[in-house]
Structure 1
Amino acid sequence: MLLWINGTFGAGKTQVSHEIQRRLPGSHLADPEHFGAGMHRMLPKEQRSDFQDIPLWRTGTREMLDQIAKSVPGVVIVPMTLVNPGYYQEIIGGLRELGHQVSHYTLTVPDRELLLRRLRSRGETRNGWAALQYDRCATALADPLFAEHVATENLTVPQVAEEVAARAGLRLLPNRDNPVTAQLRRWRVQLRHVRFD
């Protein structure tokens, strides 16, 4: 199974994906953003835009996930904002055509102010790139194509992970974190995903 975690920037995709991977033995986390970031680094700065618009990113993501899913015995977790219906069909639809079970869940944050607080907690500004994408992404992701929706407003990261896993028919190991280890784990995941380009 491929478990695609979608949502606006700041909805918690990466944290939730790492929590599921931590508590689901045999699972593997495959983040297509790393592929896109590598493509950006190869391009001259003046040619960098949304890497999802590069056809090679879409075909490469689909082909890599196909290869990974064939070689990993457990669930492959994919945290990635995907709001373009055509790109959704090209990647997720393409993976399904290849015979893969793709369970897709969109994390929702209905309150823009809550999302901005989350983004600020990870060092991003109110007028930063991620915050400016909220309206565009939230509107697109409300489309039934991007269901199944999982509201995150009053849930912790472990609770959201448990909700997604339950809907996908997966059983996570019990959460043995205490508040200190949970916070340290979130910071570590956050630091690992800081990009400087």
Structure 2
Amino acid sequence: MIIWLNGAYGVGKKQVAYELQRRLNGATLYDLTKVGTLLNEQLPQELRLANDEDYPEWRQWNLHLLQAISLNTQGPIIVPQTLTNETYLHEIIGGLRAADITVHHFNLTATPENIGKRLKQQGNLNNAFTLSHLKSDQKTIAPENFDQEIDTNEITVTETANLIAQACSLRIKPPIKNPLLQSAIQWGTAITQQFHH
């Protein structure tokens, strides 16, 4: 089973993904951007593309890797990745489903104001990468491409993870009751994301 978290950059996909990984037995967190990093490191400058998703290899390799992991492991695979191009979305997610792999595709949403607040709390609002994606990722794809849309404006990361696990009929471990510890974990995730970019 694959749990795909789509949504605008800064909406909190990775925060939710880490929360799910921590609370679902045997869960794997899969980062599609690692393949993009490999391509950009290996290709000469004149062959590099601005958007990793535009590489046919990025889409094909991630599809093959996700298929291999899915067919050889038992636990859920969590994929936090924005896809705004419907052709690419159907190529990857459609390819997984064609291989009889269950994919639960969620779209996490929030207002631009709330996304801006979250990025500011992470100290990441002035980053050029962040700002460019905050604008471009507001483009939406047709709702029928998602199994469920989750409005995160008024709910926490913990509550979002609970909703996703419930929708996937998965038993999830109880959340951390200490709010300070929970905040520390989410802060650590935010810091990790900054260094990743």
TM-score, structure 1 normalization: 0.90
Structure 2 counterpart of 1:173: 173
Flag structure 2 segments of 5+ consecutive residues without an equivalent: none
Give the deviation of 1:102 after TM superposition: 0.5
Tell me how far 1:121 sits from its aligned partner: 1.9
| Separation (CA, whole Å) in 2 of partners of 1:161 and 1:196 | 22
CA-based RMSD: 2.0
Matching residue of 1:189: 189
Name 1:89's counterpart in structure 2. 90
Provide the aligned length of Structure 1 versus Structure 2: 196
Residue pair 1:7, 1:13 contacting (<8 A) in 2 also: yes
User: 1:150 corresponds to which letter in structure 2?
Assistant: I
Give the structure 1 partner of residue 154 of structure 2: 154
Deviation at 1:194, TM superposition (A): 3.0
1:68 aligns with 2:35: no
- Fraction of identical pairs, as percent: 33
In the TM superposition, residue 142 of structure 1 has moved relative to its aligned partner by 5.3
Q: In 1, Cα distance between the equivalents of 2:77 and 2:196?
A: 27
Q: Secondary structure at the match of 2:78?
A: strand
Please name the residue that 1:116 is paired with: 116
Match of 2:128 in 1: 128
Report the Cα offset of residue 70 of structure 1: 1.2
Amino acid at match of 1:115: I
Distance 1:146 1:130 in 2: 24
Deviation larger for 144-153 or 71-80: 144-153
- Offset at residue 127 of structure 1 (A): 7.0
Letter in 2 for 1:9: Y
Q: What residue ranges of structure 1 are gaps of 5+ in the alignment?
A: none
State whether residues 104 and 147 of structure 2, in contact with CA within 8 Å, keep that contact through their aligned partners in structure 1.
no
TM-score by length of 2: 0.90
Report if the CA contact (8 A) 1:5-1:104 is conserved: yes
**Alpha-carbon deviation of 1:53?**
0.4
Q: Distance in 2 between matches of 1:186 and 1:71?
A: 30
CA contact (8 A) 2:27 2:76 kept: yes
Partner SS, residue 4 of structure 1: strand
